[in-house]
Structure 1
Amino acid sequence: MTEDPIAFDAVLDLCRDKHRRIILAVLAEERRSLTVNDLRKTILSCDHHLPVTETSEATLTEIERSLHHTHIPKLESAGVIDYDSDRQLVEPTDQFDRLQPHLSAILDIDPTLEDPIEL
């Protein structure tokens, strides 16, 4: 077998957290740059099943903080996204495309994610 086990292990590590799985799933579905606000709304919809207008400020702050301090930095350090902090824009990289087969398999078996995850 010629698959790179390091790449597979990296995908498993990136998929360890549900919010990162949601982020990766929406990036895989949309295949374009997304704003941090887009990601926040998608997490609210998929994980909390609420629109922004019905969500507490504390929940919004918690999600925003986790995006900025945990999830975006982890995805960026793995090389699967580029993050423009000035524009609050997350863009999938070529590395993201190379992880797609493993990522798709993991996301397909996650019983907590609806298919497909959309904005």
Structure 2
Amino acid sequence: MTGVLRDAGNEGRTEPTREDVFHLLSNRRRRHTLHYLRQRDGEQVDLRELSQQLSAWENGVPPAEITHRDRKTVYTSLRQTHLPKMDDANVVDYDPNRGHVEPAEEFEDVEVYLDVVPEQEIPRSEYYLGLSAFAAALLAVAWVDVFPFDLLSDVTWAAVIVALFAVSAAVDTYYDARRQLGSDGAPPDLPEQD
């Protein structure tokens, strides 16, 4: 990964570049690792525990139902590939000898790149642009007293528009909290399971 230098300890590490972060987050297991570590509030976790949970999410079953083979596949890829890359980027501290993983210095800075927008939703910027256009049109017809918009005062229409934005923002805030890495349950990029 370019932009990431490393020697013994944290000295010599530099902040990962934007490209480094996107490369790091391009893999689902690395994103799920971040999700799990965030759920654990910065605690050190055992690689076995991490691989068991990631395997459970990938297979859509509770961790207790994961077979040794399923867990071993995830364990091996985390140990040999994903955790060393995340450690090199200073996103996690990974001790391969003890099998421990914990958030590192750059862990919190990665979240800025993780706005998850499900395929069936429109981006917020487009939604709020459309809502603003609707509000402007509504105010315009209310201001020129076009029927039936002249039945309510301009102040009432302004209050309706403020309420639309307030409800939209509240709903957006609620769903945004559910899409954050580290929120309860499975990672936000997995399909919801019954």
TM-score range, shorter chain: 0.7 to 0.9
Gaps of 5+ in 2: 1-15, 120-177, 187-194
Give the distance between the partners of 2:66 and 2:87, measured in 1 at CA. Answer: 28
CA contact (8 A) 2:92 2:101 kept: yes
Size of the aligned set, in residue pairs, is: 109
Structure 2 counterpart of 1:34: 45
Structure 1 counterpart of 2:109: 98
The answer to whether residue 37 in structure 2 is matched with residue 20 in structure 1 is no
Structure 2 counterpart of 1:80: 91
The answer to whether residue 62 in structure 2 is matched with residue 51 in structure 1 is yes
Asked which structure has the greater CA Rg, the reply is 2
Report the CA distance between 1:77 and its aligned residue.
1.2
Report the CA distance between 1:60 and its aligned residue.
1.9
TM-score normalised over the length of structure 1: 0.74
Structure 2 counterpart of 1:3: none
Give the distance between the partners of 1:72 and 1:47, measured in 2 at CA. Answer: 17
Report the CA distance between 1:7 and its aligned residue.
3.0
Looking at secondary structure, tell me which structure has more helix per residue: 1
1:11 corresponds to which of 16, 21, 24: 21
Report the CA distance between 1:87 and its aligned residue.
2.8
Report the CA distance between 1:45 and its aligned residue.
2.3
**Pair 117,10 (structure 1): closer, same or farther in 2 beyond 3 Å:** farther
RMSD of equivalent CA atoms: 2.4
Percent sequence identity over aligned pairs: 23
Gaps of 5+ in 1: 1-5
